[in-house]
Structure 1
Amino acid sequence: MKLDSPYFDRIRVKPTRKPEEAQSNRRCEWPGCNRAGAHPAPKGRGREGQYFFYCREHVREYNQQYNYFRGMSDEEIASFQQSAMTGHRPTWNVGTGSGGLGGKGHDWRAFAYAFDVSDPLGIFGADDPREGAAQQRGRRLHNAELKSLRALGLDADASASDIRAQFKSLVMTLHPDQNGGDRSSEDKLREVIQAYKYLKKTGLC
């Protein structure tokens, strides 16, 4: 749009009011002061969101002497500052609960396997369920390889011959020609073929 366009004349912009104008009807709350109180000042701890309104001179004086921690001991101040690091929300130490993730007796191996969590640093333990046959291959299985194995109904310990045999069995079961022309299993068959091709490409079968 050009700067000399007539549309600019039709644009109506609501004028912004300056803070002094918006609060012109307020009086300074400083004892003995009758000037306009246009400047907010926090009322302090325990009254968050509440404000005094002072004139410019007295809000400066108030801010110079303002202390949010007034009346608190050193221990209380330290505790407040530590809690502020987490937004004053409750926290728990990892692994100290009685249940759930991190709780005593939690099966991290099952968690890693169920959610496809890669564990190159061995955080979930040396007996990760994805180890086994993968160790015999000289490397650990990637998430995509594990997903392909699951598409074939196999686990991480499946050998190359297991993969080939399972693939042939599934193709014979899911192919429309083996189901009287029923094509309801075509999506699953396509998933099985893609999984097998990927495993073959990676050298697992």
Structure 2
Amino acid sequence: MSTFSKYFEKIRVRPDPMTEAKPEAPTCQWDGCTEAGTHRAPVGRMREGEYFRFCFDHVREYNKSFNYFAGAPAAEIARFQKEAITGHRPTWSVSSNGGARFAADFSQKRSGRAGYHNRMRDPFNLFSQQRADASPAERRAKPLEGKALDTLGLDVDATGQAIKARYKELVKRHHPDANGGDRGSEDRFREVIQAYRLLKQAGRC
């Protein structure tokens, strides 16, 4: 049998713990200390990633008096605290009317009025012309609007220009100065003004 058998090469021998080489720890960096520096301590602000090596007793002493913001101006400390809320990630301000614009766009999409032609480029104004030629949907007047139009003597389908013209005409006719202080004409004058205000708030004129 050969002494250089392949089976002997696979045998592992456990090393002697007494003779095993141990890495030596650096000496504690505290003045006058000769113990092993087995614990790390941060150097300070603007030197992130650098550490002192102290023994256990001196690293505790160092941590008691360590202040990351030592010597930093108050404005920089306040800025650091503000950025810490978002994890020091960049943020973007939201416009004051951004939510309203999003809600309007969403309501347009739900109602079907924001079609494909609103999202595509139209350099020759072809699709906008088709939308302009299309007749708008007939609007039904609410009961109060109908009563206000009746007060002005107009039909339900009266346009905004017609409402304004009729209002000016009735105001001139029933103004107290034009009727010598007639109480009946004064009441009619108030009714015309109230009807016009209601129609204006409803967006009819």
TM-score, normalised via structure 1 length: 0.38
TM-score, normalised via structure 2 length: 0.38
Of structures 1 and 2, the larger Rg is shown by 2
Which of the pair is proportionally richer in helix?
2
